[in-house]
Structure 1
């Protein structure tokens, strides 16, 4: 029997990835505080936030399988979330220019007493970004709502010279592991 999946995220990228895999789902975005207290590794941080989002939605819909995720960019020991301004996005991208950073995505699946939590990390190397190109990119507003201020699946791809690991982890949902995890909740692609 196929279960019903709720995606606890307003991310259009995560929705698109599930659609590409023919996973039936509904969206019910979680509205939780994404701040963290104390020192956390990147993997702990993304798992903690993904679980927090999943629990918030699962408490309202206990019979549904809830999928939540969180993505953080980490560079030189600093966690980079979503920039809140053009200047913050510019500063983030300047710091990532001509260097390698890691992108971690945590995934939480919950249904009643059953839960599954994992994270995956990919290393991304960026080319040197000129001030002119950076300014043009910032003016597109593509940096909004993206960890690290760029989207590898769109215009931000022009900054990326190499990735080591799973591309979809950088987009925001490690697909292979997520599809495998969903199967343990009896959620499968509907390919017809």
Structure 2
């Protein structure tokens, strides 16, 4: 009989994997979805986060729906968007991009939106988008060494809050784990609400 409580994480992010493990979930499989993440014309940051997280989950659901090993799993996907106003910042791949992002974020408040999508074994789709406000200190001497570190590469907005850039944050209102990449409270509630026995996994205690 197929275990009804297996979970596929539709992401290759080590941060999201670590966050799931933090609350007692060891995914059955990691299946990242390779999608075009370009925002649509006039698409808001919130809508982009929701669309991309759902598109990733749906892509994996469709790809493995007929797979005997992976069908019947819960599928969890997430996507994080960093924005200044309605301006969506890129997932930086070039030093120049990262410098431009940090210049925008310096000394001001920005918003981080993380969309979470859960598809149940029966094909039901559930969504959440979590908004967090983050304020950076004014950056000056930090800029060049930070760019030289390379930590910004592939990160939305050019930074990872769990890394060096955590020292830039002077205020955060919302979910810290959402800024890292997966809002744990909302994710846990989605899973529990759809019958995933999360709390039973805690009974054995932390390993």
1:151 is the counterpart of 2:154:
no
Match of 1:47 among 35, 41, 50: 50
State the distance in 1 between where 2:128 and 2:161 align.
22
Counterpart among 134, 138, 142 of residue 124 in structure 1: 134
1:6-50 Cα distance to aligned partner (Å, 9 max, x none): 000111110110011111212111111112322122111100000
Task: Name which of 170, 176, 180 aligns with 2:185.
Answer: 176
Aligned to 1:4: 6
Bigger radius of gyration, 1 or 2?
2
> What 5-or-longer segments of structure 1 have no aligned partner?
none
User: After the TM superposition, which residues 59-138 of structure 1 pair with which residues of structure 2 at under 5 Å, given as runs?
Assistant: 59-62=62-65, 63-111=72-120, 112-130=122-140, 132-138=141-147
Higher relative contact order (CA 8 A, sep 6+): 1
- Cα deviation, residue 81, structure 1: 2.7
Considering only aligned residues, what root-mean-square deviation do their CA atoms show, in Å? 1.4
- Per-residue deviation at 1:76? 3.1
Moved over 3 A (4+): none
Tell me, yes or no, if the aligned pair for 1:2 and 1:186 is still in contact at 8 Å: no
Question: In structure 1, what is the equivalent of residue 172 of structure 2?
Answer: 163
Please, what TM-score do these two structures have when normalized by structure 2?
0.88
1:5 and 1:78 map into 2 onto residues whose CA distance is 34
Q: Quick check: 1:71–1:103 contact (8 Å CA) kept in 2?
A: yes
Residue 22 of structure 1 pairs with residue 24 of structure 2: yes
2:151 equivalent in structure 1: 142
TM-score by length of 1: 0.94
Q: Find the residue that maps to 1:135 and give its secondary structure.
A: helix
Return the alpha-carbon distance in structure 1 between the equivalents of residues 114 and 79 of structure 2: 5
How many residue pairs get aligned? The number is: 191
Q: 35, 39, 44: which one pairs with 2:38?
A: 35
